[in-house]
Amino acid sequence: MPSDCCFEAEVLAAVVECRWPERVDPELRQHAGACAVCAEVALLATELRADRDRLRAEAAPPESARVWWMAQMRARREAEKAAARPITAAQVLGTAAAAWFAGACYGATSEWFRAEFTQISGTVQTLGVAGFLASGTGLLLAIGTISILVLVPTAVWLAVAKD
């Protein structure tokens, strides 16, 4: 069976426009009787078109005013929910800023922190970065720093994106 016929569109149009089979050119009707493609198109289009009409008659969609009102309500609820979400982001930013501020205060005032920092700087100057990293303390410090640099942004992203 061929996949198409040049009269296929004409047959389909006749069915869609409710002209099939009575109000079409007799030659087209005769052709459809002999052409497997056009006969199939006429059969399916007639059946599906009738089914569509039955379903449309059966359909009981809600009133347009109700759908509009419900859409408004839902959009408003979603807008309110979205407006509440940045509070989480703000909380994360606030916590991060507070932690940074506390760390800065501790660093500026703690004798131990300053002594450690001076020691690390001295080691880096003496051994170089590679040598410092090769030492156990340097490696642990580097892993800790990188973990924080990766974990904190990931945690913030998860906190913001979760909602």
Partner 1 sequence: MLRDATGFFQDRVLAPTDARDAVRADFAMDEDSFRAFYDRTARGLWAYLARVTGDRQAADDLLQEAFYRFLRAGSEYESEAHRRNSLYRIATNLARDSKRRSVIRPVAAVSGEDIERVAGSDSAGSLDRSADVERAMARLRPNERAMLWLAYAEGEAHAEIAERLGLKVGSLKPLLFRARRKLAGLLGGKGKSNAV
CB of 15 to partner 1, least distance (A): 8
Q: Which two tokens stand for residue 142?
A: 């580097």
Q: What share of the chain is helix, strand, coil (3-state, %, to 5)?
A: 85, 0, 15
Nearest alpha-carbon partner for 95 in 150, 144, 152? 152
Least distance (Å) between residue 7 CB and partner 1: 13
Residue 19 contacts partner 1 per CB under 8 A: no
Q: Give helix 36-58 / helix 8-16 axis angle, nearest 10°.
A: 20
At its nearest, how many Å lie between partner 1 and the CB of residue 157? Answer: 6
Considering only 71, 99, 105, 146, the residue that binds partner 1 (CB under 8 A) is: 71
How many angstroms separate the CA atoms of 44 and 52, rounded? 12
Q: What is the Cα–Cα distance from 126 to 25, expressed in whole angstroms?
A: 100
| Shortest CB 97 distance to partner 1, Å | 12
Q: What angle do CA 99, 101, 104 make, to 5 degrees?
A: 110
Q: Which is nearer to partner 1, 90 or 104 (CB)?
A: 90
51 forms part of the interface with partner 1 (CB under 8 A): yes
Residues found near partner 1 in the complex (CB under 8 A): 1, 3-4, 12-13, 15-16, 20-21, 29, 32-33, 39-52, 54-59, 61-62, 64-65, 67-68, 70-72, 74-76, 79-80, 82-83, 85-87, 89-90, 92-93, 153, 156-157, 160
